[in-house]
Chain A
Amino acid sequence: MCAVAIRGWLEDVNISAPRPAPQPPLTHSNDPGVPVGPVLRASALTKTYGVAHAQTHALTGVDLAVGAGESIAIMGHSGSGKTTLLHVLAGVLAPTSGTVTWRGRDLAAMSDADRTKLRRSEFGFVFQSGQLLPELPALENAALPLLLAGIDRSLAMQLARDQLGRLGLAGLEQRRPGELSGGQAQRVAIARALVSDPEVIFADEPTGALDQATGWEVMRALKESAYICGAALVVVTHNPEVAHWCARTITMADGRITHVATQQPSTPELHLVPPPPPPMPNVFGGVSGAAR
């Protein structure tokens, strides 16, 4: 379930501009290499760490557009700048020069509070590990972004429960992260990333701590969920098999994009048969994100 119905709640605490007309997921367009209606655009990004005599150039002139519903893998060796790029795109780090725009609005021009709200309501995050609070059960971990956004508790819990159910975690709602397997914990993290109906999901090595089979299941769940919600997916990975799930793969080296590859949805994605979006509960009305 993609919680379009909570949009009204979120808009009370949201800074976002009006949303454009719904776009189908890019992976299902005829040309998966061309972003349709970029939601996020990075232009001439540079990012430099350190002082004059010991500077590290993490990004050197990166341009990137993330289309609505598109899936992008960012690959590269350690230190190539891929995580820095993800952080800059998400408004966590400020670029040294260049701009990142969200639906035409320059992130640098937003206040820190507005960027925080943007990350909370429009972006979802999945990390390699360390994202679930050990003292909260799975359900409350998944509902946390909604609670932080001031959503009514019962609604937040219902949306989180639905999201967990969709990810095959029904019955595990009251388990603590320590009582879940690595794959289950990552799926809780995916539920949390999706629960506030984000437009973009950022995933930093989401399968890095998992074995191959579990990693495949987690990627499948992530891709499937992003598809159903119509959310764009930006995955940082060093694993080509993970990258293969995405329509576009950009390879980075020394802070630059050195290669861009697009793939037809004929790889593992073809085997992904997303279930039809479940009907929304009457209480919310609305439709699923896949159709937005």
Chain B
Amino acid sequence: MSATQLWLLLRRHASHDRSTSARFTAVLAVIAFAATSAVSLVVVGGLMAFIGRWQAGLKVGDIDPMFYVMLAGFAVLLLLVPLTTLGAAAARLAMARRDARLAALRLAGATTWQVSVITLLDAGLQALVGSLIGVAGYLAVLPIVAQLSFQGRQLSLAELWVGFPLLAATVAAVAAVGVLSAAASLQRVRITPLGVAARVSPPKLSIFRVTGLLVAAAGAYLSVHLMGSLAGLFVVLVFGGFVAIGMAVLNLIGPLVLQVIGRITAGNARSAATLLAGRRIADNPKAAWRSVGGVAIAAFIAGLTSLIGLFADSPHPNNSDQVLITDLTTGGLLTLIIAGVLAAVSTGVMQAGRLIDQRQEYRNLVLAGSDTRTLDRARLRETSIPLIAALGTATASVLVVMVPVIGATAFTAPQVVLLYLGSIAVTAAMVMAGVAATGFVARGLTADLAR
């Protein structure tokens, strides 16, 4: 039997696989791939709108439209972290279930070639379905995004439309992430099928470095070809380098801080829910940081751009300055909200993935009389504690940076501060809603216990 025939046979049987974990894993992976595609397209569409306006020579006052392109590029770079996190979460989720099946196939005598083909076709299909749903999502939200105004003009659908080549490229890129993640898990199974069957994880091949390379290459291609010169590439490199250094520092410090917070939380916990949350944060602070890091950075940037809005009420603003300041505020908050959406989906997917991975432990806890509400609270706190820490730190940092500059102005224009704080609250609520949604997965895993 050829590898493709074997794959088709397995697919046919997989469609009858009604087990809870199988259904949830597939659905969650597709949701994550879909969200990654949709948000990527919206973000690229926004960037292209500004590039289009720059190429058309649209100017507001004496502000160089290239400045808007740079700002939009900066926002895209900021969103790369949560986007990559979400893509990685989708890939991990897909890997978790595939590992066991691949090991079983290898142990049953499937050749390396057969296992490779099955894996890549399986993963590619899942990511492809997700990205196609993502394209539909992008088309659905375009009219909403088109309500936004920048440079004194409302964005048009034509400006936000990325075109068929980019649409296809995005679908292909998301599918590539899925296939690469599968290739990584394949590598592990090839090395030690017994190890995977016994749930022993050898050091993992980091596929995310490869994904990073792909993203960098795509960025370079886009900047050269869309902006028509090497200047675009230079801008991307400078901003990219700046953001990369900032991210690297934050990614070093963030998990460390969260680990300390986790240990303190667990050490002082008076309830089982807080103890579980603290231990989980301390046990895997990188995962906790991945959930909230992108939001924290976006919150900091949005804070800066929002508070710049305070200058809009200065006595002698000329018209173009007013427009720029308003656009900065809108752009910052938009970046924050998009980062929030990404964080909500990725946090939900990561938590659901862990629930599925630990379904036996979870079921046994419920079976032994653990209150599911307590376990729900533990999951919520596991996210809310780092989220509050991250958003609180970002907000405090904004105030530390901006209050000496702005001074009492902040108190004379409370609407700007309130708008920022409101956006923070909405972002936090979205992330927590993402976690709360995992309750459906938890109920599903134990639904048969009640029958």
Contacts and interface: CB of A to CB of B under 8 A. Distances in A.
Given A130-B360, A130-B361, A140-B275, A112 B450 contact: yes
Given A112-B450, A119-B367, A125-B368, A147 B360 contact: no
Contacts of A132: 361
B279 A153 contact: no
Interface in B244-288: 269-272, 275-276, 279-280, 283-284
A191 interface: no
* Residue of A120, A127, A131, A148 with most partner-chain B CB within 10 A: A148
A131 B364 contact: yes
Given A93-B449, A148-B374, A153-B269, A116 B369 contact: yes
B62 interface: no
Nearest to B364: A131
B370 interface: yes
A117 B360 contact: no
Counting contact residues on chain B (CB < 8 A from A), the size range is 20 to 34
Helix, strand, loop or mixed for chain B's interface? helix
A129 B360 contact: yes
Nearest to A193: B368
A33 interface: no
Contact of A135 (B280, B374, B450): B280
Contacts of A140: 275, 279
B451 interface: yes
B369 A121 contact: yes
A275 B226 CA distance: 81
Interface in B368-411: 368-371, 374
A136 B367 contact: no
Interface in A126-184: 127, 129-136, 140, 144-145, 147-148, 150, 152-153
B314 interface: no
Contacts of B371: 113, 116, 120, 148
* Residue of A90, A113, A123, A153 with most partner-chain B CB within 10 A: A153
Contacts of A130: 360-361, 364
B358 interface: yes
Contact of B364 (A112, A120, A127): A127
A235 interface: no
A34 interface: no
A118 interface: yes
A62 interface: no
A130 B357 CA distance: 11
A134 B199 CA distance: 13
Contacts of B449: 87, 92-93
B198 to A, nearest CB: 11
Nearest to A124: B368
B279 A125 contact: no
B261 to A, nearest CB: 15
Contacts of B370: 116, 120, 144-145, 148
Contact of A148 (B272, B280, B283, B361): B272
Contacts of A112: 450
Contacts of A123: 368-369
A127 B276 CA distance: 21
A131 B270 contact: no
Contacts of B451: 93-94
B374 to A, nearest CB: 6
Contacts of B270: 152-153
B369 A118 contact: yes
A191 to B, nearest CB: 13
Nearest to B372: A116
B367 to A, nearest CB: 5
A148 B275 CA distance: 10
A140 B263 CA distance: 13
Contact of A92 (B358, B361, B367): B367
A215 to B, nearest CB: 19
Contacts of B280: 135
B272 A125 contact: no
* Residue of B358, B369, B451 with most partner-chain A CB within 10 A: B369
A134 B364 contact: no
A134 B358 contact: yes
Contacts of A120: 368-371
Nearest to A119: B369
A124 B275 CA distance: 21
A145 B358 CA distance: 18
Given A92-B449, A130-B360, A135 B279 contact: yes
B275 A135 contact: no
A125 B367 contact: yes
* Residue of A119, A132, A135 with most partner-chain B CB within 10 A: A135
Contacts of A133: 276, 279, 358, 361, 365
A60 B8 CA distance: 41
A131 B279 contact: no
Interface in B199-220: none
A237 B217 CA distance: 59
B361 A131 contact: yes
A131 B272 CA distance: 16
Given A112-B450, A130-B360, A136 B368 contact: no
A116 to B, nearest CB: 5
- List 7 tightest A-B contacts by C-beta distance, closest first: A120-B369, A119-B369, A130-B360, A147-B272, A135-B283, A125-B368, A148-B272
28 contacts: A87-B449, A90-B367, A93-B449, A94-B450, A117-B369, A118-B369, A120-B368, A125-B368, A130-B360, A130-B361, A130-B364, A131-B368, A133-B276, A133-B358, A133-B361, A133-B365, A134-B283, A134-B361, A135-B280, A135-B283, A135-B284, A136-B276, A136-B279, A145-B370, A148-B369, A150-B271, A152-B270, A153-B269
Interface of A: 87, 90, 92-94, 112-113, 116-121, 123-125, 127, 129-136, 140, 144-145, 147-148, 150, 152-153, 193
Given A133-B358, A136-B276, 10 more contacts: A113-B371, A124-B368, A129-B360, A130-B360, A130-B364, A131-B368, A135-B280, A135-B283, A145-B369, A150-B271
